[in-house]
Amino acid sequence: MALSKIDIENMVTGELTATNGGTGATSFSAGKILQVQSATSTSVVSEGSGGTSFLDYLSRTITPSATSSKILLLGTVGEPDQLDGRIKASFFRNTTELSSGGKIATEFGRGLGHAGTEDHFFNMANMFVDSPSTTSEITYRIKVGAATAADIRVGNGGAGNLICMEIAG
């Protein structure tokens, strides 16, 4: 499958937000991509105490230009390992976990193991459309954790990505 480069600058039309007290975006058509923010991690994040809480994996801030804007989230979790456990991963808006559609994985890894050894899997990925209804800065996050009281690790050989795209509403 051929890969295409998206020319964001030539896709955005209308009046762009001016810096230092400008008038703001006023004439965008619905469905246009207004801005893209992204983050990549090649770090290993692990939970070795058998806990089930979420750990920060990736984060990126974005400030919507209108309350009607939607935010398209694209996320991957780099090469998850599981040591006799299951991995969970979700999108968060600030500190709030997004609805069930915002989950990247809820119990990835159960029954896929070689007893007593680590298992390596492909990257996990998901997309989610959020309607934050604000023009205040938002921090989107991907958090990972153990779905059961077991040890997990992500990013062990694969990069994770978080892309936040503002879409005109």
pTM reported for the whole predicted model: 0.74
- Asked if the model's pLDDT at residue 60 lies above 60, the reply is yes
| Per-residue confidence band for 6, with pLDDT thresholds at 50, 70 and 90 | low
- Asked if the model's pLDDT at residue 62 lies above 60, the reply is yes
Residues 110-134: tens digit of each pLDDT: 444 444 455 555 678 899 999 999 9
- Asked if the model's pLDDT at residue 85 lies above 70, the reply is no
The predicted pLDDT at position 154 comes to 80
Q: What is the mean pLDDT of the chain?
A: 78
Average pLDDT over residues 69-92: 83
What are the strands, taking DSSP E only, across the chain?
33-41, 45-47, 54-62, 70-77, 81-83, 87-93, 96-97, 103-108, 119-120, 124-130, 138-146, 151-154, 160-167
Distance CA 140, CA 58 (A): 8
- Asked if the model's pLDDT at residue 91 lies above 90, the reply is yes
The predicted pLDDT at position 131 comes to 96
The predicted pLDDT at position 99 comes to 77
